[in-house]
Amino acid sequence: MEFLVIGVIVLYIMQKNKKIDTGKFIKDNGNWIRKFKESDYDFLVRSKYGEDVDPDQLFDKRVQNGFIVGVALIFLFITQLSFINILAALLVGYLIYRSGYSNLKSFYKKHLHEINLQLPYFLKNLEVLAQHYTIPVALARSIDTSPEIFRPGLRKLIQRINDGDSSIDPYMDFAKEYPVNDSMRMMRLLYRLGIGSQENKHEQLVMFSRSVSALQNKARETRYKERLNKMEGKTMIMLGAVGGSVMVVLLFAMLQQF
């Protein structure tokens, strides 16, 4: 333990005196280090923290934290340094580095339900815009009024369309980023609406509108059931508390009779 404390103090002093600057090292070699960044890391960061946060800075911080923990553990094992101990220190440092991504992934999975409830209302707004504009323009105009979690995916979708990708792939990739109920089917309908002729646009809009309304009804039912379950839970807790209090009073009264 003494070596760990000494090691941390030495690292701190060297960092302060700029003898060692892990932050600068990571920044200078950022292009190489960021090759190890997960493909969906930027999306997950913006899903949790919004678009004002720089994913690259958070990733650099992950790398720095993992490195510092690994070095600190090597100092801890310095009196009995061996291949196994070094391997264990590096493994713990990697787990610290990896935990930043795992936490973001867990957060996203927990919020898929919320995304599922938000999607129908985003599509409804898009349906109104599609009556007056082409689908790419409607998508672009929907960004500012869409739920914040959809905005990075929408920008990516629009950019690919503007770059000349006229296939269904940008729409399907958007649906894969938000894998909730009917997202694949709705994006297929949206793609067909975008490539359809003006003569068939009204019929396609009606079909799209019916599908969106069905999704909205499902979302309302889900919200209603959640509120009902929450109220039932509170009622059961209240009844349990009242019943328990009555039992305690009765038990106390019976004990006083003896």
Exposed (0-12), middle (13-18) or buried (19+): which is 165, by Cβ within 10 Å?
A: middle
Q: What is the pLDDT of residue 188?
A: 85
Q: How many CA atoms lie within 13 A of 223 on its CB side?
A: 12
In whole angstroms, give the CA distance from residue 200 to residue 231: 47
pLDDT tens for 207-218 read 778 877 777 777
pLDDT at position 153 over 70? yes
Alpha carbon 118 to chain centroid distance?
14
In whole angstroms, give the CA distance from residue 149 to residue 50: 7
Q: What is the pLDDT of residue 57?
A: 83
Q: What is the pLDDT of residue 225?
A: 74
Task: Give me 177's structure tokens.
Answer: 């980023």
Q: What is the pLDDT of residue 174?
A: 86
pLDDT tens for 69-90 read 887 777 777 667 677 877 888 8
- Reported as a pLDDT band with limits 50, 70 and 90, residue 184 is confident
In whole angstroms, give the CA distance from residue 39 to residue 27: 20
Q: Give the containing element (helix H, strand E) for 31.
A: helix 30-33
- Reported as a pLDDT band with limits 50, 70 and 90, residue 164 is confident
Residues in the chain: 258
Q: What is the pLDDT of residue 196?
A: 67
Average pLDDT of the chain is: 76
- Report the alpha-carbon angle 111-38-141, nearest 5: 55
In whole angstroms, give the CA distance from residue 112 to residue 125: 20
- Reported as a pLDDT band with limits 50, 70 and 90, residue 150 is confident
- Let me know: does 69 contact 92? Beta carbons within 8 Å: yes
